[in-house]
Structure 1
Amino acid sequence: MFVCEMITTRALVERNPRTLRMVRFAGSESPRSIQLYGVDPDTVGRAVKMIVEEDLADHIDLNFGCPVPKVTKRGGGSALPYKRNLLRRILRAAVANAGPLPVTMKMRKGIDEDHLTYLDAGRIAVEEGVAAIALHARTARQHYGGVADWDAIARLKEAVPEVPVLGNGDIWSADDALRMVAATGCDGVVVGRGCLGRPWLFKDLANAFDGSPERARPTLGEVAAVMARHAEGLTDCFDLERYAVTDFRKHVGWYLKGFTVGSELRRALGTAETLDGLRESLARLEHDQPWPPNTDTPRGKSGERSKVYLPDGWLDDQWDCDVSQDAESDISGG
């Protein structure tokens, strides 16, 4: 499945040029999945209808899991399932306009431990015709800190036996995925931070679920080749080499995690401005250096938040359906 980054429904229906570029898929990419963020049922419905009528994707995923302040302070992402009736209206609008396309949703356990919503949200999703549910087993307040509560995935699976439940959280290796499925009974897994700098993790997952013990253990030279391919792919995506290479810089540390690389060379890779410059630095790596041990560990964002930013009075009434006029941003990405 090929998934674009999170798309704001308002930006899509208003045909924001940047958003339209973000939902563009290559001819070889199939099935295509668009991940939508929205807080207004009417706008979500219009966005889904547009996707169907213009054949923009084969699958629609609704994001109720994003914990970042710019999303939650508008009542979106992981804040939204607290408003049960609003969640129901959004899901109903999406499913009603999706035609033959499956609609799925991703969510978190809730806003915090005092405001857990995932079991209610799961039942609402089933009642409104959602095809599958993914649960990141953390609250919004936890952000990406602490340990994912895999027991919550098991409880959700028991609560919604009618649809597949996908588990998310703390899958750093294919063997972690096998342990999650065994521990929770979930039907599959969703990988987030675990694949940063390790796109071959998905091949490991396929092997693991097929019963094969084979796991990718690339040398530093093989990793360097993937890094170059990644940066080149970004150039094709962004149509501007310098922007693509700059965007790639944040991936350098993830790709090189555990390998022995000097600070000067790391700095050169992390400040490259052109593909040629990046390739020259990659060529200086010790290509026969083997895959380092003990690298199946957390990567990417971490740490809890002291609070979740919410609209004023958001927690006063869990059944309220009011949506403020500025709730939907017209800027995609998240």
Structure 2
Amino acid sequence: MVLKIGSLELRSPVVLAPMAGVTNVAFRLLCREQELQRTGTVSGLYVCEMVTARALVERNEKTLKMTTFAPEENPRSLQLYTTDPRYTYEAAKMIVDEDIADHIDMNFGCPVPKVTRRGGGSALPYKRRLFGNIVAAAVKATEGTEVPVTVKFRIGIDEEHHTHLDAGRIAVDEGAQAVALHARTAAQRYSGTARWEEITRLKEHLVHTGIPVLGNGDIFGPADARRMMDQTGCDGVVVGRGCLGRPWLFAELSAELRGEDIPAEPTLGEVCQIIQRHTELLAAHDGEQRACRDIRKHIGWYLRGFPVGGEFRAALAKVTSLEELSKIVHPWEDSTALARDADGARGRQGSPGKVALPEGWLDDPEDDTVPEGAEIENSGG
């Protein structure tokens, strides 16, 4: 099953969603390695952490480091957070001129209060003209190139303010080559159940355009991906929290959607090896000390459902060196135990709540004024 996004042709319709502090070069490489080892091919799209357009243009050191791609990453996919057409154009032009990435995705789905209260993220598509101006700016900057622009958004702000159908239409009219819908409102955040019927509505709304519609929300295993595509008619799936501690998930999803045998779930011994490999990749990018701190947040996700005691988990959560890590996992490296009940939601679920918005934000959806102070200071969310 092939997914075409502009000039890009993917051998499976599976996309890794950007996640702050997770989808760095180490994790992306690990996902690619797992897919290659388990299926014999790398077929999906692995997107880097979200970077802020203004920070990129101003060459913020942290932001530039986050745009690092390994030589074997192809295609290179970068997601921009933006609220201003001017910075959007400059950032997209920079990406093209300096050959930073092969694909630009734009994030209008972030529900975090510090973002929405300034008019960014999932608050922004409510301002239809501003939203269109931003998409148009990115498309203009990539004209004449093979770098496609895509857009990700949510159902809307809340139940009274759905924006996804307008956002999809506007994005396509302005030249976006694909759209992705996280099937929750900003008010839902990550709680409850994703409303896949809204993916169906968006696909039906845009079917005449021929532009791919991707679905996002509650994909935790191969059966979920198949069910979403069958139920909604979407052209591909975007996977975020479901892959936390499961970099091998993309091999399973791709195999399922290509009609191939699904690779077996890894044993505890294999997961121990994957944890070590993940830490090694982090160390190559950020140094050993920082890598050992960073891997700690992944340990609970990796070991979910495995019959290991609290002592083992606690030791891994305090690891300070690659040598120490190797010693801790060594006794478990031959374990053939399998995880139990490891599917389901991962990461923070949060609870639904009122969306923080700038004062008067809902007064005029046609107002294209750039919200003041909406550019977040740092990349990554």
Find 2:231's aligned residue among 164, 183, 201: 183
- What are the superposed Cα offsets for residues 228-287 of structure 1, whole Å, 9 maximum, x if unpaired? 11111111122x222121111111011000001111111111111222222221223363
Structure 2 residues without counterparts, runs of 5 or longer: 1-44
User: What does residue 38 of structure 1 align with?
Assistant: 82
Matches within 5 A, 1:170-319: 170-238=218-286, 240-285=287-332, 287-319=334-366
Q: Which runs of 4+ in 1 moved over 4 A?
A: none
Deviation at 1:306, TM superposition (A): 1.9
User: What does residue 65 of structure 1 align with?
Assistant: 109
User: What does residue 4 of structure 1 align with?
Assistant: 48
Letter of the structure 2 residue corresponding to residue 226 of structure 1? I
Q: Does 1:106 align with 2:152?
A: yes
Contact 2:57 2:91 in 1 (8 A): yes
Which moved further from structure 2: 205-214 or 119-128? 205-214
Which moved further from structure 2: 177-186 or 262-271? 262-271
Contact 1:221 1:289 in 2 (8 A): yes
Q: Does 1:320 align with 2:367?
A: yes
Letter of the structure 1 residue corresponding to residue 274 of structure 2? V
User: What does residue 147 of structure 1 align with?
Assistant: 193
Q: CA separation in 2, counterparts of 1:275 and 1:225?
A: 12
* TM-score when normalising by structure 2: 0.85
Contact 1:16 1:330 in 2 (8 A): no
Paired residue secondary structure (1:111): strand
Paired residue secondary structure (1:160): helix
Letter of the structure 2 residue corresponding to residue 297 of structure 1? G
- What are the superposed Cα offsets for residues 88-145 of structure 1, whole Å, 9 maximum, x if unpaired? 0000101000132100011110111111100010110111010000100001111110
Deviation at 1:329, TM superposition (A): 2.7
Contact 2:118 2:372 in 1 (8 A): no
Contact 1:62 1:106 in 2 (8 A): yes
User: What does residue 166 of structure 1 align with?
Assistant: 214
Deviation at 1:151, TM superposition (A): 0.2
Letter of the structure 2 residue corresponding to residue 40 of structure 1? D
Deviation at 1:171, TM superposition (A): 0.4
Q: CA separation in 2, counterparts of 1:277 and 1:319?
A: 58
Find 1:116's aligned residue among 153, 159, 162: 162
How many residues are treated as equivalent by the alignment? 333
Q: CA separation in 2, counterparts of 1:228 and 1:94?
A: 39
Contact 1:261 1:285 in 2 (8 A): no
Q: CA separation in 1, counterparts of 2:117 and 2:323?
A: 42
Structure 1 residues without counterparts, runs of 5 or longer: none
Deviation at 1:312, TM superposition (A): 1.8
Deviation at 1:2, TM superposition (A): 3.4
Letter of the structure 1 residue corresponding to residue 191 of structure 2? G
Which moved further from structure 2: 279-288 or 246-255? 279-288
